[in-house]
Amino acid sequence: MSLLKNFATVGGATMTSRVLGFVRDLLLAAAVGTGPVADAFVVAFRLPNLFRRLFAEGAFNSAFIPLFGRALEEDGEPGARKFAGEIGSALMFCLLVLTALAQIFMPAVVWALAPGFLAEPEKFDLTVMMARIAFPYLIFMSLLAFIGGILNTYQRFAAAAFAPVMLNVVMSAVLGVVLFLGIEDHTTLGIILTLGVAVGGVVQLAVVLVDLKRLGFSIPRLRPRYTKSAKRLLVLGVPGVLAGGVTQINIVVGQIIASLQDGANSMLYYADRLYQLPLGVIGIAIGVVLLPSLTRQLRAGQNDQYQRSLNNALEFSLVLTLPAAVALAVIPDEIVSVLFERGEFRSEAVSGTAAALAAFAIGLPAFVLNKVFSPGYFAREDTKTPMKFAFVGMLVNVALSVALFPVFKHVGIAMATAIAGWVNTGLLVIVLWRRGHFTPDARVIRKIGLILLSSILMGAVIDFAARWMSPYLAHRDLVVNGPALVILVALGMLVFAVLVQMTGASNLISHVKSLKRRNS
């Protein structure tokens, strides 16, 4: 199956999840707005998500897949089963210990993540309670990442990609019930929301377990031991924790500082959710598909194919990312207003969220390119170099967040995150190129320039169109402003598609025909 087809499979699944995620966030905004329950939920939900992305997705994507691929190639399926059993038992043991410690020391954890909440004891206690209920979500998501790594190695991407859809289905149902019943008590709301997160985790894990059974791959149940396999995974995985999760680390740094401003965490959360749509659809799809592909090509000595895969991933990512980044930077107020301005989400929240979204948009291409170039290191079992660059990015993020927050408030945090993302990605590209592990294709470089030009021109068109359509976009009825936003987005997509096709920046017609042939 081609790299483009795999990108489309994972990207399509992620798009479905993100769209349903917007439905969830629309309901969340209507139910809790940017008040204390919203701030508490953002911190409580982000805590297990942080550990999941650092210790599960980051470490496993960077370390487990190359090692599992080697075991499968050198020792066959029996050896791969044994390797998976050893790693799975060690992972489960660590997760249970981490969860137990988190439950005990949760007040200290919340204090570290949101020190500003101490000034409001009710909000602090609510956050601690919600975090304790939501934290087991980490167990289910870490096991999902583990099983997903096995499925991806076998080129089965669909189940792990579609699993997150189920969380949004469960949470949307929960929020729908909350709104229908008119529940307003903070404690009751907190318990219901975080229980929904835990249930969603169970359902997601069930999706990949079913696909693993269809594959016919059984993982033996072994006693947790510090084996040679576990040691090797630990050596590679610890650097991968930082290298694969630099964006999440930067977000947490921002969360800590933002806790000093009322409503800042929730405004950053809603802005983060919006720019995470293209980042998730494009970046996650590339990260999931590219690593096993590059690993397989390097193992087979197919260096030319490796270079083509990396260059093609660069082109695919930017042809989708650059126009999205420009659009988010040009019409953030219109997007936020149409999607969220209702119920408890008022005009002040709209302007604050839109400003943060515009700042995040600047860093969107960098965050996606990080997903393109990190596998170039991970496929060679080098997780230390990206770790060093991630550390540099973290220092930049912390320094800029502290410097910009007094002046720009929560928007300064978003700006710092974007700049740090570019620093980290720039280092990844330069060193990979100097080592000879990435040879930029002259054809791709020319196309990138044309893609950027097409994106800027598209941005000018939608800016003019947004001004002309402002009476409809500013309308408070979703029946009016919703279709207006859809038309504006569709116009931007059409203009960009025509421009890239005419300039030769990318042959979209050929890509679509290729996907149709492979689906037939």
pLDDT digits (tens, 9 = 90+) for 217-257: 988 888 888 777 777 777 766 676 655 555 566 666 777 78
For the question of whether the overall pTM of this predicted structure is more than 0.85, the answer is no
Output the pLDDT for position 343: 66
Is 255 within 8 Å of 114 (Cβ atoms)? Answer: yes
Tell me whether residue 503 is exposed, middle or buried, using C-beta atoms within 10 angstroms of its C-beta: 0 to 12, 13 to 18, 19 or more: middle
HEC per residue, 179-214? HHHCCCCHHHHHHHHHHHHHHHHHHHHHHHHHHHHH
392 part of a folded domain: no
- What parts of the chain have a pLDDT lower than 70? 1-11, 34, 51-62, 236-238, 240-252, 280-281, 283-285, 287-289, 343-344, 507-520
Question: How far, CA to CA in Å, does 233 sit from each of 98, 144, 291?
Answer: 18, 17, 16
144 part of a folded domain: yes
55 part of a folded domain: yes
Output the pLDDT for position 422: 94
Output the pLDDT for position 283: 67
What is d(CA 28, CA 22) in angstroms, rounded to the nearest whole number? 9
**Is the C-alpha dihedral spanning 441, 442, 446, 447 positive or negative?**
negative
101 part of a folded domain: yes
What is d(CA 169, CA 165) in angstroms, rounded to the nearest whole number? 6
Phi, psi of 352 (to 5 degrees): -65, -40
Tens of pLDDT, residue by residue over 159-199, are 877 888 888 889 889 888 888 888 878 788 888 888 998 99
Q: Closest by alpha carbon to 208, among 153, 154, 157, 135?
A: 157
Contacting residues for 514 by C-beta, under 8 A, at least 6 apart: 2, 4, 5
Phi, psi of 320 (to 5 degrees): -100, -30
Q: Which range of residues forms the domain containing residue 159?
A: 9-244
What are the structure tokens assigned to 390, written together?
């991630």
Helix-, strand-, coil-residue percentages of the chain, each rounded to 5: 85, 0, 15
User: What ranges in 245-346 are assigned the alpha helix state H?
Assistant: 246-258, 264-278, 285-299, 303-330, 332-340
Output the pLDDT for position 457: 95
DSSP 3-state of 317: helix
First to last CA, the chain: 13
What are the structure tokens assigned to 127, written together?
């956050």
315 part of a folded domain: no
Phi, psi of 155 (to 5 degrees): 65, 30
Output the pLDDT for position 384: 83
Is 52 within 8 Å of 138 (Cβ atoms)? Answer: yes
- Can you state the angle between helices 478-503 and 508-519, rounded to 10 degrees? 100
Output the pLDDT for position 416: 92
Residue type, 187: T
What is d(CA 301, CA 321) in angstroms, rounded to the nearest whole number? 31
The count of domains in the chain is: 1
117 part of a folded domain: yes
Output the pLDDT for position 515: 46
Q: How many CB atoms lie within 10 A of CB 220?
A: 11
Is 255 within 8 Å of 41 (Cβ atoms)? Answer: no
279 part of a folded domain: no
342 part of a folded domain: no
HEC per residue, 50-117? HHHHHHHHHHHHHHHHHHHHHHHHHHHHHHHHHHHHHHHHHHHHHHHHHHHHHHHCHHHHHHHHCHHH
Question: How far, CA to CA in Å, does 298 sit from each of 79, 225, 317?
Answer: 21, 30, 22
Task: Let me know how long the chain is.
Answer: 520
